[in-house]
Amino acid sequence: MIYVRGDERRFPRFPHEATSDQFFSEEQFEAYRALGFHAVDRALTHADETVPWRTLMDRLLFDLAKK
Residue 7 binned pLDDT confidence (cut-offs 50, 70, 90): low
Query: What one-letter code names the amino acid at 42?
Result: R
- Number of independent structural domains in the chain: 1
- Round to whole Å and give the CA distance between 32 and 38: 10
What does the pLDDT look like over 19-64, one tens digit per residue?
787 788 888 888 888 888 888 887 777 666 666 767 777 888 888 8
Domain, as residue range, for 37: 2-16+23-66
Distance (Å, rounded) from C-alpha 12 to C-alpha 26?
A: 17
- Which one, of 41, 30, 38, 39, lies nearest residue 11 by Cα? 30
Full-prediction pTM beyond 0.85? Answer: no
Residue 31 to residue 34: CA distance in whole angstroms:
5
How far apart, in Å, are the Cα atoms of 32 and each of 2, 15, 40, 48, 57? 13, 7, 12, 26, 19
